[in-house]
Structure 1
Amino acid sequence: MGKITLLIYAAAMLAIGAKTWAHTLERFVLGDRLGVRPLVATIVSTFYGASAILGGVALTYQVGLGVIWFMLPFYLGTITFILWLQRIAGARKYTLPDFLGGFYGPRFAIASTFLLTILCLVPEEIIASGKVLASFTDLSVEAAMGLMAVVLIVPVMGGGMRADVQTDIAQFGLMLVMLIVALPFVWAPGTAAPSHLPAEYLDPLALISPQEIAVFFVLLFFLPFTSAPLYQRLFVSESAASARKALLYSVGIWMAIDATVVLCGFAALQMWPTLSDPDL
């Protein structure tokens, strides 16, 4: 059943890419104007995917409630980022280099294009999805990563921004369904009960150092400010008001997802307390 589900998912993503094929450069880069609902789905999925969810469970397994220092700064940074929305959503730009070029000139725009081409690659998503695929099939992790790279990249190569958003919406729905399915298991009596966990796992400061907290706070607080995919979505929002609502709703959904992720990590601690590599 798992293999069939994964094959259906891969086929659906490729079909979305074919259906949303962009025939002009403007269509490829800009896609459709987005209202609140599609914005929420694509923003949530942009930041939360296989790597964030699986990584969050593994991190909870390792540091307990210390994982909140990877979550709170991101929430606060996103809420603070809303103060910039009026300028971004009303910029009438297509890309982040185009937007930055308006401030610093064409040379900076060209340089930032090359830089973003390198920085916007997301190997962690390929790694995480490859591990998931390998665990349900006979494929090696390397082969599964290669296959998932094709599934993730090919639709966007053909359909551009519209394909990216449509696949995000599909992934958002699947992510919510899977998290809802997981809830009865993590809420089962005794599965993730805090009283059954070692005390240090319930102390946010016990298993993570102040230096680590400071580093992750800075990195994750400013993540929304430096995220090219987020800017790209805000450029095609219907209005600054739509973008503002979408970001606030996204923060609420991220909190709900993270709560489920933490419970899954606690459940894993209860069921498999001696894992050497929780990422696997």
Structure 2
Amino acid sequence: MNAPILIVILYMIGMLAVGFYTNKYAIKSSTDYMLAGRRMGVLMVAASLSANNVGGGSTLGVATRAFGVWGLSAAWYVIAASVAMIPLAWFAPKIRKTMAVTIPEVVNRRFGDLAGSLTAVLNVLALFFLTSSQILASGTVVNALTGIPLNVSILIAGVVTIAYTTMGGMIADQITDLVQFFIILLGLAIALPFIINGAGGWEVISSKLPPVQLDFFKIGWVTILGLVFNYFCTFLSGPEMVSRFSSAKDERAAQKASVLSAVLMTMMAFIPTIIGLVSLAMDPQLDGGKGTSALMYATTHFAPSWITGIVAAAIVAATMSSADSNLLCASTIIIRDIYMKYFNPNVEDKRIIFLTRASNVAILVISMGIAMFKVNIVTMNLFAFALRSAGPFAAYAFGLTVPKASKHSGLVSIIVGSIAVVYWQVYNSTHPVLPIVFGCAMGTIAFFVTTFLEKNNVAPSAYVEGEK
């Protein structure tokens, strides 16, 4: 295992070098730190969007689901995200036009302090869980490669992530995302034929699989459409996604980046799925029949050691690219939408950078603690997505696009959507309709009913100069 360990170590050193370089030469203001100076081009934004979406859930998690009940249809977990990026391209220019830094800032402009603060709290809580899931995934890979205890591996992954994110902010985040996404895509693509060949070829693999596991639509259209709607709601109300659009050099670049991101994600949807099926065919009782280590099992057993190193680096890249984005967004919201709003609105620019960095460290320490509980990655991701999206979705999405939205429609939709998603999660968790879908639907209904009932009480614009 010397070659894989060396490759992963070199990768981590490279990420730290990016953080050091950007901190030394590129960070001049808090806008540089939080939004990369709003000067990023199409490829940089698209790769960052894609890398952020393709994390532990879309690699390790998809392989595990393919091993389990989803089979080949596990590819929809990523394809659905690609489909969701297409309608998001319509919103991207509007997001960029607000010139806001965070989602709570826009909600606050339209619907008042309470709505903005509730959005901030929901966003931060969700980002804690999302950061934890990605650090757990990174630690799992380090543990598999080195044999270092999982808790120690989680600490190692966390320390590297916090180092380059805290040093370089959004600029380092996007540069590393560009590198990370192509490491993920090319690394897994190179590994796949080696794994299939090492397992005896596709004919041998497919002959050992139950036919139902090769049904592309096994999970059913209700679940597929639910995933698309889940991603659309999550992306549109996701701080890490919105921050990417806000960092684009102009509105057109933001829109093009959304479409390009859809293409990039589609390119890798089937790779972890097939790797998971290889593991199922060769060892149906892996991890007690759960297949939680399906991706790394197939790689280490059926591919050369240097391929294992590339895949390990790809998985660490996937998880770190999501973790750093979640971390930076959580800190930005805490400082701009809570600290500066309620405690010190006149803090100087350099102090903002210092406080955001300090917040990064605090959040990651707590997130590593959560990761120690080893909650299933996909389960944790879906819960976090539902928590942050079901309430704020309607307030943010329609706050951008409905000029005559009423003053209290945002607040009502946040409350109704949040209650609805918790209710559905507790009492209907096995229903094919995902909690986030139900919560967003209820929030949307509440938004438009409230707007109708108080149609003469129009909320202020979401745009700085009243643009629509």
Q: TM-score, normalised by structure 1?
A: 0.89
Q: What is residue 278 of structure 1 aligned with on the other side?
A: 291
Distance 2:31 2:228 in 1: 37
Distance 2:166 2:67 in 1: 37
Where do 5+ consecutive residues of structure 1 fail to align? none
Shift of residue 204, structure 1, vs aligned partner:
4.3
Q: What is residue 26 of structure 1 aligned with on the other side?
A: 31
Q: What is residue 180 of structure 2 aligned with on the other side?
A: 171
Shift of residue 167, structure 1, vs aligned partner:
1.8
Deviations 1:120-155 (A, max 9, x none): 232111111111011111311111011111212222
Q: What is residue 191 of structure 1 aligned with on the other side?
A: 201
Answer whether contact 1:75 1:221 (CA < 8 A) is retained.
Answer: no
Distance 1:241 1:227 in 2: 20
Instruction: Please tell me whether residue 76 in structure 1 is matched to residue 83 in structure 2.
Output: yes
CA 1:86–1:40: 2 relative to 1, 3 Å? closer
Deviations 1:164-196 (A, max 9, x none): 112212212321231232132245385344742
Alignment partner of 1:279: what SS?
Answer: coil
Counterpart pick for 2:45 among 39, 49, 59: 39
Distance 2:182 2:75 in 1: 25
Shift of residue 237, structure 1, vs aligned partner:
0.8
Q: TM-score, normalised by structure 2?
A: 0.55
CA 1:209–1:44: 2 relative to 1, 3 Å? closer
Larger Rg: 2
Alignment of 1:1-280 (within 5 A): 1-21=3-23, 22-32=27-37, 33-62=39-68, 63-121=70-128, 122-188=131-197, 191-193=201-203, 195-196=206-207, 197-204=209-216, 206=218, 208=219, 216-275=227-286, 276=288, 277-280=290-293
Answer whether contact 2:51 2:178 (CA < 8 A) is retained.
Answer: yes
Letter in 1 for 2:260: Y
RMSD (CA atoms): 2.4
Alignment partner of 1:60: what SS?
Answer: helix
* Greater displacement, 107-116 / 84-93: 107-116
Where do 5+ consecutive residues of structure 2 fail to align? 294-468
CA 1:255–1:186: 2 relative to 1, 3 Å? farther
Shift of residue 212, structure 1, vs aligned partner:
5.5
Alignment partner of 2:263: what SS?
Answer: helix
Answer whether contact 2:80 2:224 (CA < 8 A) is retained.
Answer: no
Answer whether contact 1:51 1:129 (CA < 8 A) is retained.
Answer: no
Shift of residue 213, structure 1, vs aligned partner:
5.5
Shift of residue 224, structure 1, vs aligned partner:
1.3
Shift of residue 231, structure 1, vs aligned partner:
0.2
Distance 1:158 1:109 in 2: 29
* Greater displacement, 76-85 / 185-194: 185-194
Distance 2:51 2:276 in 1: 21
Alignment partner of 1:238: what SS?
Answer: coil
Q: What is residue 351 of structure 2 aligned with on the other side?
A: none
Answer whether contact 1:40 1:247 (CA < 8 A) is retained.
Answer: yes
Answer whether contact 1:40 1:246 (CA < 8 A) is retained.
Answer: yes
Distance 1:16 1:89 in 2: 26
Distance 2:6 2:206 in 1: 39
Shift of residue 87, structure 1, vs aligned partner:
1.0
Distance 1:59 1:211 in 2: 17
What is the aligned-residue identity percentage? 24
Aligned residues between the structures: 279
Distance 2:252 2:196 in 1: 37
Distance 1:270 1:220 in 2: 30
* Greater displacement, 183-192 / 120-129: 183-192
Answer whether contact 1:89 1:234 (CA < 8 A) is retained.
Answer: yes
Alignment partner of 1:93: what SS?
Answer: coil
Shift of residue 69, structure 1, vs aligned partner:
4.2
CA 1:211–1:236: 2 relative to 1, 3 Å? closer
CA 1:7–1:44: 2 relative to 1, 3 Å? same
Shift of residue 61, structure 1, vs aligned partner:
1.1
CA 1:153–1:118: 2 relative to 1, 3 Å? farther
CA 1:40–1:211: 2 relative to 1, 3 Å? closer
Deviations 1:30-65 (A, max 9, x none): 214111111121111101023421111111111212
